[in-house]
Homo-oligomer: A and B are copies of this chain.
Amino acid sequence: MKASEIARLVGGTLEGNGDPELVGVAPLERAGPDELSFLAHPRYLSYLGGARAGALLVSRALAGRVPTGPPRIVVADAHQALALLLPRLYPERSPEPGIHPTAVLDREAVLSEGTSIGPYAVIGRRARLGARVRIGAHTVVGDDCELGDDVVLHPHVALYAGVRIGARSILHSGVRVGVDGFGYVFSEGAHRKIPQVGWCRIGADVEIGANSTIDRGSVGPTEIGDDVKIDNLVHIGHNVRVGDHSVIVAQVGIAGSALIGRGVTLGGQAGINGHIQIGDGATIAAQAGVFGDVPAGATYSGYPARPHKQALRAQAGLFQLPELIKRIRELERAIRARARTGGARARSKE
């Protein structure tokens, strides 16, 4: 693809020669003369020196800081341009539709046109698969599951019975959905399991990272909205609801019955307590421990999580503590010294 074609595709301004043919995209320190590279973050300006890329895709905010060199394509946001460009340069190799002879399909399973089912996949009773669904090797779709059109399940996914997944959602390898929630009562000296009789509904355009786990509801559903993006190794407990467009970074844990609003961001390794509410558009920083409700639009961080500015001030104070302790000691000394002289003066008056 010529640099000029790329500029047209991403709606960018070409500066320099538009003729070079580019066959791929690579990071600055690796790109060769037949590759496009990109600059989306000032952190990587220092890599520009040795760059040998055939052309450069640059976010407008950084364009002024890029010395002259290879032809460049200036865009509002280089990442956004990549999202448009990459599917063209790297067309996805979809498996051919078809059912591998080793797949085990229950007689009552319902398939649609264009479905691809990999080796050793197991499809349960009354499971319904939409058009063009792709099921990876060894993936297990439980009884009564429903998958929308164009759903992709990578190898080794397990859906327990009764899970519903909306169109175009992607589940990576090792994801478990509809797992029994963690519910017991302690009675007569031992834990008694509360049967988990609810279900699990995943919206459309959801992506779930490798080895993440989502529990079914205890009674009623666990619900993940549309366009929710979940990273690897995330845990979502029973009866949780996550609103549309929310983003959940790797290793987050959400305890049972928490309500996560729309457009919420949960940073990596954050923990959300059970039965609390995170308001729409809120942001929870990485590793935060959230034990109470968070209002819509707020940013919380730290342990226990507090409004981010308050948490920052507390942290700043924390690292001043050794010095504060010294200052308190000084003050005490000054007061004591004064008490002695004051006392002495008082005594001399008697």
Contact = CB atoms under 8 A, between A and B. Distances in A.
Contact of A213 (B104, B209, B334): B209
Nearest to A244: B190
Nearest to A304: B315
B269 A253 contact: yes
A73 interface: no
B179 A210 contact: yes
* Copies of this chain present: 3
Contacts of A118: 122
A185 B79 contact: yes
Interface residues of A, number: 114
B275 A43 contact: yes
A220 to B, nearest CB: 4
Nearest to A87: B195
Contact of A313 (B173, B207, B321): B321
A102 interface: yes
A65 B118 CA distance: 55
B197 A209 contact: no
A339 to B, nearest CB: 8
B324 A324 contact: yes
B182 A173 contact: no
Contacts of A192: 80, 83
Given A120-B138, A219-B26, A253 B255 contact: no
A142 B350 CA distance: 93
A313 to B, nearest CB: 5
Contacts of A287: 271, 289, 303
Interface string A112-153: 000000111010000000000000111010000000000000
A282 to B, nearest CB: 16
A340 interface: no
Given A182-B209, A191-B245, A314-B321, 16 more contacts: A25-B219, A83-B187, A86-B194, A156-B174, A158-B173, A170-B180, A173-B176, A210-B213, A213-B232, A233-B253, A251-B251, A287-B303, A313-B322, A318-B321, A324-B324, A334-B339
Interface of A: 24-27, 30, 41, 43, 77, 79-80, 82-83, 86-87, 89-90, 92, 100, 102, 104, 118-120, 122, 136-138, 140, 154-156, 158, 160, 170, 172-174, 176, 179-180, 182-187, 189-195, 197, 205, 207, 209-211, 213, 215, 217, 219-220, 227, 229, 231-233, 235, 237, 239, 245, 247, 249-251, 253, 255, 268-269, 271, 273, 275, 286-287, 289, 291, 302-304, 306, 310, 313-315, 317-322, 324-325, 327-328, 331-332, 334-335, 338-339, 341-342
28 contacts: A41-B275, A80-B185, A86-B219, A120-B122, A138-B138, A138-B140, A154-B160, A155-B158, A156-B158, A158-B210, A160-B173, A170-B180, A174-B211, A174-B213, A182-B231, A191-B229, A213-B233, A233-B253, A249-B255, A251-B253, A253-B268, A253-B269, A255-B286, A287-B289, A287-B303, A317-B322, A317-B325, A331-B332
